[in-house]
Amino acid sequence: MAEARTELRSTAALRDTMSAYYKTLGDAVTTKSAPVAWCTSVGPAELLRALGFAVHFPENHAAMLGAGRTANKYLPVAHAQGYSQDICSYLTSDVGAYLAGESPLSAFGLTGVPRADVLVFNTNQCRDVRDWFEWYGRQWNAPVVGINSPRSVGDVTDAEVDDVTAQLEALVPVLESVAGVRLDGGRLAAAMKSAREASELWERCLHTAANKPSPFTFFDGTIHMGPAVVLRGAPEAAAYYHVLLAELEERVRGGVQAVPGETLRLYWDGMPVWGRLRALSTTFAEFHTAVVASTYCNSWIFSMLDPADPWRSMARASVELFIARSDGPKERYIERMVELYDVDGIVFHDCRTCPNNTNTRYGMPRRLSDKLGIPTLVLDGDVNDLRCFSDEQARTNIEGFVEQLSDARTHASRVTR
């Protein structure tokens, strides 16, 4: 039997932080204490905070549906409205839950997702977010505005940053009209400062996993990234990451292992399989394998944010986002992560309904394996639709991959003797 892992004490503070966020959001709806804006997860949250909006992130809501394994109940409801089974299951599970009149936010006192006064998207992730927001805009007769970002970006150019900067600035009159206030430069700088601080702390938390043994895994990160997503631009996010970082550094000093008996280290590329986080975490741990880092959790590191240059730094953060890049920059990024975290192999999640954050379909795993000299594994699945994921197949593939890595390590040790 595998040794039990030591749970993070910070999880209690995380629950308090997230509960307070949802309570504030609920209060804005019931008491009209603040206008409500919907924002995509890497949209202009700092701008919305500076204007006094309470901000809702529907991808976070959809991830809750996935993690709670209720998404498959709602997907057919959206499909019956004409949405394809092949498009983003975040979108379809969220829309389906709305049509069913149900939401996990009821646990925090909300009757459902908060009705938006304005919906603000950024297509740096995909086109689906715009379609998603426009559906709610039609439901509520609410304004939908956003940024149409460049995609498959190679080396980031000034022209691309200029384009997004202009689109960000063009949002201001609409948002000021909805908020009923003028944008204050000091408040925007303060939101940028809070976002930058939280980002730097989150990066330091993730980088503790470069230690051997690792005190933190990708599966931990998918949970503890919550404040980085929903509280970006608010001081509460940095406050939480001070707590988490202190505990992780304490773990490093004490040699506390996230995966007891860690012998192998992996990197995860692509979306989580939300409904199987615990099962996958347990399976890897059973084989003494720590998934120490991921593209996904790192995507909320925005080191380029600059309070002294808010517009262009927000634009650059949008354009430089991993998911918006071409394969060349993506591969160079993963190469750096493989070196930083000293991993033995890479797991790619081929997410059925998220082609934009799936990097398995144009030869990347083979190219990286050949260049880096480490094996790669492709797991079939989906972010929310569990019909696309097989527990048995995943376990078989993981077990075979671990055996391959162990055999390679044994062979290498013999050669060096």
Does 377 reside within a domain? Answer: yes
Q: If you search the block for the tokens 């390590």, which residue do you land on? A: 409
pLDDT for the residue numbered 409: 76
Q: Is the pLDDT of residue 415 over 80?
A: no
Containing structural domain, residue 44: 10-415
Does 5 reside within a domain? Answer: no
| Residues 6 or more apart whose Cβ sits within 8 Å of residue 170 | none
Q: Is the pLDDT of residue 414 over 60?
A: no
For 45-79, the pLDDT digits (tens) are 999 999 999 999 999 999 999 999 999 999 999 99
Does 3 reside within a domain? Answer: no
Number of domains in the chain: 1
Q: How far apart are CA 149 and CA 271, in angstroms?
A: 21
pLDDT for the residue numbered 306: 97
Confidence of residue 1 (pLDDT cuts 50, 70, 90): very low
For 230-273, the pLDDT digits (tens) are 999 999 999 999 999 999 999 999 999 999 999 999 999 999 99
Q: How far apart are CA 324 and CA 328, in angstroms?
A: 12
Does 409 reside within a domain? Answer: yes
Question: In angstroms, how far apart are the furthest CA atoms of the chain?
Answer: 72
Does 43 reside within a domain? Answer: yes
373: left (phi over 0), alpha (psi -120 to 50) or beta: left
**In one letter, which amino acid is 245?**
L
Q: Is the pLDDT of residue 411 over 80?
A: no
Average pLDDT of the residues of the chain: 96
Does 1 reside within a domain? Answer: no
Choose among 379, 384, 389: nearest CA to 359.
379
Does 279 reside within a domain? Answer: yes
pLDDT for the residue numbered 399: 98
CA distances from 163 to 166, 289, 385 (A): 5, 44, 35
Q: Is the pLDDT of residue 359 over 60?
A: yes
Does 212 reside within a domain? Answer: yes
Q: pTM score > 0.85 for this model?
A: yes
